Amino acid sequence: MATSNAMMASAFESPPLIDARFLPPSDDVDTIYATHTARVAAHLQQRPGVRALPIGSFDDMVASQNRMNAIKAAFRGELEGITREELGRLSLFGHPIPHDVHDAIRTEQARRASQA
């Protein structure tokens, strides 16, 4: 479970194992914390027997981030990289360039695969 005010990150699909919610960039840390705490409580209430793994130290935080990164990397591998839709959402001006970039990425992936 992740709660953040990094709105640009919402352009990317989240793996099914990660329940991500992105708040407006103007939300302060107290709002983010309160939202996250409420989301975790609701999640746990719907899943009797499941418990949250508390982060009590810097090492705990790094380990949690590493687990999330591994889940994201596996998911990204299933998608074979960034999707056309994600690139489109990253485009601030609705420009068609993201589609050209996506096509170039796929062409390069195919070229590299044929050389392997």
pTM higher than 0.85 for the full model?
no
DSSP state, residue 85 = H
In this prediction, residues 96-106 reach a mean pLDDT of 80
In this prediction, residues 50-57 reach a mean pLDDT of 91
Residue 57 has pLDDT above 80, yes or no: yes
List of residues 6+ apart from 55 with CB closer than 8 A: 61, 64
Residue 93 has pLDDT above 70, yes or no: no
Residue 114 has pLDDT above 80, yes or no: yes
Compute CA distances 13 → 26, 75, 83, 89, whole Å. 22, 9, 9, 10
Is the pLDDT higher at 32 or at 103? 32
